[in-house]
């Protein structure tokens, strides 16, 4: 459970407070004694990361914003400060904690609260809890003080709720979350948030001739599923929907091209794209964004058992293109391709797929940027870049030149599912482009999602990379539509 969020209009003298300041003035409303205020002023001159004052009845945390940084960098530094303070805040066992600001930018309170909430997350569902382990380890309530709009409070609550359950889905082991179980969870979340979910089982997938999804599933004892999520509010602003496609590989062994060494570790998180799409639909629906949004989630595990597909197999995809299998560990693009092809039935304004797709993307950008490839209008990429800076889930674009597609040529089929060793992330994107009849943005989150250690509040083992980016992107698109109308 995460802390409850409330807004307050006044701070009482005995409440514990986090105060974000934009200059060296200590606000009177912190109710500090003379010696405490003098101590705080001395510490401010040393430019400490934060100041902590432990009074008899309360704790006070003061954070001085850094000077000389760009606006989006200042915001990110504040979120990082929340991560650095989380252990101290937990240790002080506050039942509630006030967050306020003085002389800071509009939104500083919400940014700190967001970083703190995301830093508090932990996946301990399967731990046996006794004694001190069951005690509340974070404030039960975060009380936001200041001029904060109701819509911004709601956005903070729903977005962080979505990150929490998305991380939960990513962290579930496959013996508790196979493809049918994932579909049930998506349906449950849809019912709660207010978007519709249709689950296509294996017979329907066969009828749709989704050869990529069916081929990857051949080595599994569990059937595949294909989930269709839809948010279509009355009075939506877009004539044609935006379609989000998320990779739902609930466990990836690599298939017959089995992963070696420790490369199979964490592969229960290979469905992070699917979980993220679900989280975005939750946020969109719960905050009432007036856009028609569709989510498509193909899901299976990729195993070497049974009648598993092999190198050299020829499969026929949903759009009737034939594919020569060059490597069974390049399975994500096969299930995504079927879903992207299926998206054409909606005549979408835009298709965005998100997937932990290639090690190449991780090697290129590390954990600092989401790899982006696109054939869409530049206005979408400009907006996506702005949103990426805003939430600090930054994007970095790779070229999408036609020449890269030449590397997918096959002697015996329409194309192969892999190219050579070079430009692996781009070639994967070019493969997906062959199945898109409408503008496509491809987001490869392999580097930003598969973390081996915490990247501040983006915690290891499933930070839900791309969720805040895409949610903010759709919110901005709706605002731009509204301004035009």
Which residues are known catalytic residues? 259, 333
Q: Which residues contact 3 (CB under 8 A, 6 or more apart)?
A: 117, 120, 138, 139, 140, 141, 142
- Give the C-alpha distances (Å, rounded to integers) separating 459 from 83, 274, 354, 464, 465: 10, 18, 19, 9, 10
d(CA 72, CA 32): 31
- Kindly report the three-state secondary structure assignment for every residue of 236-283: CCCCCCEEEEECEEEEECCCCCCCCCCCCCCHHHHHHHHHHHHHHHHH
CA angle 469, 472, 478 (to 5 degrees): 140
Closest CA to 280 of 270, 295, 291, 269: 295
Longest dimension (CA), the chain: 82
d(CA 112, CA 145): 12
d(CA 254, CA 263): 9
CB distance 78 to 72 below 8 Å: no
Question: Beta 293-302 vs 248-252: how paired, if at all?
Answer: parallel
Measured torsion, CA atoms of residues 172, 176, 179, 183, in degrees rounded to the nearest 10: -80
- Give the C-alpha distances (Å, rounded to integers) separating 173 from 24, 92, 269, 270: 49, 33, 8, 11
d(CA 152, CA 150): 5
CB distance 60 to 19 below 8 Å: yes
């Amino acid at each position: 459970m995460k802390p409850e969020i409330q807004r307050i209009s006044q701070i009482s003298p005995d409440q514990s407070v986090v105060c974000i300041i934009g200059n060296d003035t200590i606000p009177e409303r912190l109710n500090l004694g003379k010696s405490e205020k003098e101590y705080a002023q001395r510490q401010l001159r040393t430019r400490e990361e934060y100041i902590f004052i432990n009074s008899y009845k309360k704790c006070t945390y003061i954070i001085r914003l850094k000077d000389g940084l760009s606006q989006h960098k200042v915001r990110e530094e504040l979120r990082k400060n929340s991560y650095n303070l989380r252990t101290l805040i937990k240790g002080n066992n506050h039942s509630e904690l006030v967050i306020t600001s003085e002389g800071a930018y509009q939104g500083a309170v919400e940014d700190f609260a967001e970083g703190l909430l995301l830093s508090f997350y932990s996946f301990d569902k399967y731990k046996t809890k006794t004694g001190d382990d069951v005690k509340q380890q974070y404030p039960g309530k975060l009380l936001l003080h200041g001029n904060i709009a109701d819509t911004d409070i709601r956005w903070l609550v729903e977005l962080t709720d979505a990150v929490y359950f998305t991380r939960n889905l990513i962290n579930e082991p496959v013996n508790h979350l196979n493809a049918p179980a994932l579909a049930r969870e998506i349906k449950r979340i849809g019912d709660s948030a207010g978007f519709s979910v249709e689950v296509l089982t294996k017979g329907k997938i066969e009828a749709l001739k989704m050869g990529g999804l069916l081929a990857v599933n051949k080595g599994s004892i569990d059937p595949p599923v294909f989930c269709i999520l839809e948010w279509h509010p009355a009075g939506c602003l877009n004539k044609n929907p935006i379609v989000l496609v998320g990779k739902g590989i609930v466990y990836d062994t690599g298939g017959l091209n089995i992963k070696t060494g420790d490369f199979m570790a964490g592969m229960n998180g290979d469905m992070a794209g699917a979980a993220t799409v679900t989280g975005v639909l939750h946020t969109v629906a719960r905050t009432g964004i007036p856009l028609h949004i569709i989510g498509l989630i193909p899901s299976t595990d990729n195993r070497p058992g049974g009648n598993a597909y092999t190198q050299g197999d020829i499969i026929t995809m949903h759009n009737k293109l034939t594919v020569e299998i060059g490597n069974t560990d390049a399975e994500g693009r096969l299930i995504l391709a079927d879903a992207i092809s299926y998206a054409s039935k909606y005549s979408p304004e835009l298709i965005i797929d998100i997937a932990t797709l290639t090690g190449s993307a991780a090697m290129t950008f590390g954990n600092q940027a989401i790899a982006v490839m696109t054939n869409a209008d530049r206005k979408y990429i400009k907006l996506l870049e702005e949103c990426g800076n805003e939430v600090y889930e930054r994007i970095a674009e790779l070229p999408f030149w036609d020449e890269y597609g030449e590397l997918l040529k096959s002697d015996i089929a329409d194309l192969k599912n892999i190219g050579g060793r070079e430009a692996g992330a781009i070639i994967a994107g070019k493969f997906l482009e062959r199945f898109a009849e409408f503008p496509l943005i491809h987001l490869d989150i392999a580097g930003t999602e598969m973390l081996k250690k915490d990247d501040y509040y983006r915690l290891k083992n499933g930070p839900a990379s791309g969720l805040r980016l895409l949610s903010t992107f759709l919110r901005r698109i709706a605002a731009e539509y509204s301004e035009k109308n």
